[in-house]
Amino acid sequence: MPGSFYDPFSLFEGEGRDEGGKEPSPQPSPPGSGAKVLWDVVIVGAGPAGLMTSIHCAEGNLRTLVLDGKEAIGAKLLLSGGGRCNVTHLKVNEKNYHSGASRTVRNVLRAFPSEKTLAFFREYGVEMVLEEGTQYFPREQSSKVVLQALLQASRRFGVVIEKGKKVQKISREADLFCISGKGFECFSKTLVLATGGLSYPGTGSDGSGYVLAKSLGHTIVLTTPALTPLLTEDDDWKSLAGITRPVRLSLLADGKETARSEGALLFTHVGFSGPAVLDISGPWLRCDARQKELCVDFFPERRKADFLAEWIRSIIEHPNRSWRRAVSKYFPERLAEVLLKKSGIAPAVRLDQVPQKDRETFLQSLFRFPIKVTGSQGYEKAEVTAGGVDLREVDAKTLESKRCPGLFLAGEVLDVDGRIGGFNFQWAWASGAVVGRSILQRLRGC
């Protein structure tokens, strides 16, 4: 059992805890400074989930310490949404996530829906605007204001954030957690792992959270990158780098459609990207069918029968027109040429010179055109990690570990990954808020 503990808030007890959000409270001695501190909660990871947890804990007067391995806090958040941060989505429910326990995801999302996210940020002066009818971004078009709001809220309630403190070991001593790393050690009544996954490792989420969770008795569901660009070795597709089309993508596993996505497809110099591709990358990477194939519907908004009728009219009216010219009515010329080449139709040939059977095969294929994918750009470019700490090992309402009482988990470290469009941040905010409230309930009974 560790010896006697210093109360980190005794320095300013009676002075009030900066409830008005004016000056930040005086900070207690940081870990590693020699004094033995007993925290109510130590949160590992100062990403969106960890910060949201800390704010909810400290708001209820819990002694709250956040440790992050990086010197620069919020690196991933700042990068997000192309530097603009797609904070949440208009309609969020568990169907937008892949996880090992959708009931748990549903509980968490219902406990802290996107309206609460909007209200939280509004309180700190960040108004959101809707884009494409469903995705919320800060009005300032900058992820900085989102990070600033989180840091302002944590200062207001006296959260202590320690940067450059990578947690390497966690052990139980009596009913306390002992959390340590290079040159520091601290003790806490409860512990939160909000360490993220493996995606964009340069931002600090390097998978060490899984090792810590394992050391506390948890199982890690196999991880794969998700929301990551896909690769091809086909030079025809690569030659189209820069072209974007609105499409529907289907993943066929041994001939059966097992996943679908819609949105923009962007051809790149190494393969395919854009929201539709990112969304289907997780299912593609997880799919272990003997034969898997990605197919593009280039006309997601059109009825096939109408399109075919339009072509028959076109062939009757302009029999001398070249296929290149006719197909370029619908696509950029470079794409039209690649589609024709792959279908064995010479671009210069006249419309009426291609036999009806071949013509129909080509036109039908535009609704299910196979593209050969050879891999992905992996965690380096993945927005999120699929897999993680098994959701069945945490309480479906509180996110407290069933394996290690007093341990809670929030954010991407859990086996939950969402679609593109603000869903992953919403999971981070909601799971952080739920964990914060659960810890308050456990320690304060409120």
Ligand X SMILES: Cc1cc2nc3c(=O)[nH]c(=O)nc-3n(C[C@H](O)[C@H](O)[C@H](O)COP(=O)(O)OP(=O)(O)OC[C@H]3O[C@@H](n4cnc5c(N)ncnc54)[C@H](O)[C@@H]3O)c2cc1C
Nearest to ligand X of 231, 409 (CB atom): 409
Nearest to ligand X of 45, 100 (CB atom): 45
How many angstroms separate the Cα of 367 from the Cα of each of 89, 304, 318?
29, 8, 23
Rounded to 5°, the CA angle 287-292-296 comes to 110
Could you list the residues that contact ligand X (CB under 6 A)? Answer: 44-50, 67-70, 76-77, 79-81, 85-86, 166-167, 194-196, 199-200, 204-205, 208-209, 383-384, 411-412, 422-425, 428
Beta bridge partner(s), residue 88: 136
Instruction: Please report how close the Cβ of residue 417 comes to ligand X at its closest, in angstroms.
Output: 8
- Give the helix ranges, DSSP H, for 219-355: 235-238, 275-286, 304-317, 323-327, 333-342
Token pair 């109510």 in the structure block, residue: 40
Nearest by Cα to 399 from 419, 416, 423: 416
Nearest to ligand X of 28, 47 (CB atom): 47
Nearest by Cα to 415 from 216, 126, 201, 219: 219
Instruction: Please report how close the Cβ of residue 7 comes to ligand X at its closest, in angstroms.
Output: 24
Nearest to ligand X of 80, 104 (CB atom): 80
Instruction: Please report how close the Cβ of residue 56 comes to ligand X at its closest, in angstroms.
Output: 14
How far the first Cα of the chain sits from its last, in Å, is 28
The alpha carbon of 248 is separated from its chain's Cα centroid by a whole number of angstroms, namely 21
Helix, strand and coil content of the chain, in percent to the nearest 5, comes to: 35, 25, 40
Instruction: Please report how close the Cβ of residue 251 comes to ligand X at its closest, in angstroms.
Output: 22
Nearest to ligand X of 43, 336 (CB atom): 43
Instruction: Please report how close the Cβ of residue 370 comes to ligand X at its closest, in angstroms.
Output: 29
Nearest to ligand X of 169, 372 (CB atom): 169
Pairing of strands 64-67, 38-44: parallel
How many angstroms separate the Cα of 414 from the Cα of each of 57, 65, 195, 384, 399?
20, 21, 9, 11, 10
Rounded to 5°, the CA angle 104-107-108 comes to 90
How many angstroms separate the Cα of 380 from the Cα of each of 115, 269, 273?
32, 17, 14
Instruction: Please report how close the Cβ of residue 65 comes to ligand X at its closest, in angstroms.
Output: 12
Nearest to ligand X of 49, 159 (CB atom): 49
Nearest to ligand X of 25, 208 (CB atom): 208
Instruction: Please report how close the Cβ of residue 383 comes to ligand X at its closest, in angstroms.
Output: 4
Instruction: Work out the number of other CB atoms within 10 angstroms of the CB of residue 51.
Output: 30
Instruction: Please report how close the Cβ of residue 241 comes to ligand X at its closest, in angstroms.
Output: 20
